[in-house]
């Protein structure tokens, strides 16, 4: 085995220190704005394992022999700093065990007090909730980098929307976490508006909502930073985000030429969060419009989908990295064998593998998240070839 992991330029342990554990799983509680499928949520618990170097709570299906073999094929020993769960009950047990041991927990997403006391949060829970609340965007940007926006009570939302020209964006302003564009409702026409209002009605919420102008985007960046007292404030890097027309996340590529005004805007927002007491990694969705103006549309004071890719950037061969997440549409064996072939070829770097065959039920597809890397044309060709192979 090589010393690949020893060459990481940054780990979560360097930021959060000893006696801190990490969980990226959304709470098992109901959340109307974060509709991640259960197996997808379980798989993503291991996404940051390689950049952690600290205890991470991950699902048992991510630590089997196939996961270890993929890591070995990439030249790495499987990390040992993890604690496993298999269901909602055992997940809650891991949290309670950490609390009883006096450890702090860095939550990717907030959990109710029935899981752990607020004092167990590594970041003050009220601050963490406020930092990630879309309604408070103006507070953390100090009123800068914002599209036209208005916060309205849900009971006034339908009436207020009649005053806005299409397209516009509706975002929930409550304390429920969101991710991957879920919870963000882009309205191009009255059909989209009616669908959004219907979804909001189904959520049975009395929260406020944010209405924003839709930004006609030239580029969509996730710009990331890290801070601790020991390391100071660091710019980790940025990725170019691929979203569909309704803002749903479909992956990203590493951005090596980011406009300085984008980096500066993100740094300013990070400094505002740090001044309020935030410690750790954060990523901000910053848009550049056709006039070169920078707009902040979402602030994620937590690890992000491309955080591992950005930290690993200089360690991967080639000039082009593309985040890759997929699940088996062919048989699990065929899916795994093709992944192994790509990893052994040195063009696909594994972050996490979720073994569908771990489960006694039949028909659970395996899942994978990793990084394509190499030259752009080669990466895109193999990405497309894998998609063609992995068809129903």
- For residues 229 and 159, membership in a common domain is answered with no
d(CA 181, CA 24): 17
Point out the domain boundary residue: 159, 182, 213. Answer: 213
- For residues 13 and 123, membership in a common domain is answered with yes
Order the strands of the 367-374 sheet from edge to edge. Answer: 294-300, 280-289, 217-228, 232-243, 249-255, 320-327, 367-374, 348-354
Q: How far apart are the first and last CA of the chain?
A: 36
Sign of the dihedral through C-alpha 357, 326, 298, 206: negative
- For residues 113 and 32, membership in a common domain is answered with yes
Domain housing 329:
317-389
Phi then psi for 92, rounded to 5 degrees?
A: -60, -35
Question: For residues 317 and 259, is the Cβ–Cβ distance under 8 A?
Answer: no
Question: For residues 98 and 21, is the Cβ–Cβ distance under 8 A?
Answer: yes
- For residues 225 and 238, membership in a common domain is answered with yes
How many domains, in total, are found in the chain?
4
d(CA 309, CA 290): 28
Give the model's pLDDT for residue 176: 59
Q: Do the domain assignments include residue 328? A: yes
The CATH number for 207's domain is 3.30.1490.20
Q: Name the DSSP letter for residue 362.
A: T
Walking along the chain (392 residues) 10 residues at a time, the average pLDDT comes out as 77 96 88 70 95 98 98 95 96 97 95 92 95 90 93 92 94 64 82 91 82 91 96 96 74 93 98 98 95 93 94 94 96 98 98 96 94 97 97 82
Q: Do the domain assignments include residue 157? A: yes
Q: What tokens were used for 289?
A: 């419009």
Q: Do the domain assignments include residue 180? A: yes
- For residues 255 and 287, membership in a common domain is answered with yes
In order of 31, 170, 352, 383, the CA distances from 185 in angstroms are 16, 5, 30, 29
Q: What tokens were used for 174?
A: 């409550």
Point out the domain boundary residue: 181, 213, 245. Answer: 213
- For residues 125 and 160, membership in a common domain is answered with no
Q: What tokens were used for 361?
A: 């039920």
Point out the domain boundary residue: 97, 131, 165. Answer: 131
Q: Do the domain assignments include residue 357? A: yes
- For residues 226 and 192, membership in a common domain is answered with no
Q: What tokens were used for 186?
A: 């882009």
- For residues 177 and 292, membership in a common domain is answered with no
Nearest CA to 283 among 105, 98, 77, 296?
296
Spell out the alpha helix ranges (H) of 234-297: 260-276
- For residues 196 and 224, membership in a common domain is answered with no
d(CA 113, CA 107): 13
Give the model's pLDDT for residue 35: 57
The CATH number for 227's domain is 3.30.470.20
Question: For residues 221 and 239, is the Cβ–Cβ distance under 8 A?
Answer: yes
- For residues 208 and 230, membership in a common domain is answered with no
Q: Does the active-site annotation cover 279?
A: no
Give the model's pLDDT for residue 290: 87
Q: Do the domain assignments include residue 122? A: yes
Give the model's pLDDT for residue 249: 66
Question: For residues 307 and 8, is the Cβ–Cβ distance under 8 A?
Answer: no
What's the alpha-carbon Rg for the chain, to the nearest Å? 21
d(CA 229, CA 171): 33
- For residues 103 and 118, membership in a common domain is answered with yes
- For residues 22 and 115, membership in a common domain is answered with yes
- Which residue in 47, 302, 338, 347 is the catalytic one? 302
Give the model's pLDDT for residue 1: 45
Q: Do the domain assignments include residue 308? A: no
């Amino acid at each position: 085995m090589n010393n690949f992991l020893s060459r990481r330029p940054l780990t979560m342990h360097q930021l959060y220190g000893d006696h801190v554990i990490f969980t990226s799983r959304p709470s098992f509680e109901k959340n109307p704005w974060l509709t991640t499928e259960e197996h997808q949520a379980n798989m993503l618990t291991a996404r940051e394992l390689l950049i952690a170097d600290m205890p991470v709570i991950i699902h048992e299906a991510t630590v089997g022999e196939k996961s270890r073999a993929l890591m070995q094929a990439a030249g790495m020993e499987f990390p040992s700093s993890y604690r496993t769960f298999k269901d909602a009950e055992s997940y809650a047990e891991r949290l309670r065990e950490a609390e009883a041991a006096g450890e702090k927990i860095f939550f990717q997403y907030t959990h109710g007090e029935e899981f752990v006391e607020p004092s167990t949060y590594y970041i003050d829970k009220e601050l963490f909730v406020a930092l990630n609340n879309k309604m408070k965007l103006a507070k953390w940007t100090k009123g800068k980098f914002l599209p036209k926006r208005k916060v309205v009570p849900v009971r006034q939302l339908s009436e207020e929307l009649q005053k806005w020209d299409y397209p516009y964006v509706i975002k929930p302003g409550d304390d429920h976490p969101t991710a991957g564009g879920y919870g963000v409702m882009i309205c191009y026409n009255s059909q989209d508006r009616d669908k959004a209002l219907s979804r909001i009605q189904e959520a049975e919420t009395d929260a406020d909502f944010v209405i924003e102008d839709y930004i006609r985007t030239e580029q969509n960046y996730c710009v990331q930073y890290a801070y601790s007292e020991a390391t100071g404030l660091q710019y980790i890097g940025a990725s170019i985000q691929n979203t569909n027309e309704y803002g749903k996340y479909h992956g990203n590529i590493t951005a090596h030429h980011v406009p300085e005004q984008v980096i500066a805007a993100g740094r300013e927002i990070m400094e505002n969060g740090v001044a309020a007491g935030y410690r750790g990694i954060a990523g901000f969705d910053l848009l550049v419009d056709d006039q070169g103006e920078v707009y902040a549309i979402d602030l994620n004071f937590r690890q992000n989908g491309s955080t591992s890719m950005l930290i690993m950037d200089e360690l991967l061969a080639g000039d082009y990295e593309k985040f890759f997440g997929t699940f088996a549409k062919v048989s699990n064996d065929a899916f795994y064998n093709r992944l192994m072939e790509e990893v052994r070829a040195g063009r696909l770097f594994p972050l996490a593998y979720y073994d569908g065959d771990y489960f006694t039920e039949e028909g659970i597809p395996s899942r994978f998240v990793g990084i394509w890397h190499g030259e752009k044309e080669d990466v895109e060709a193999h990405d497309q070839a894998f998609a063609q192979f992995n068809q129903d």
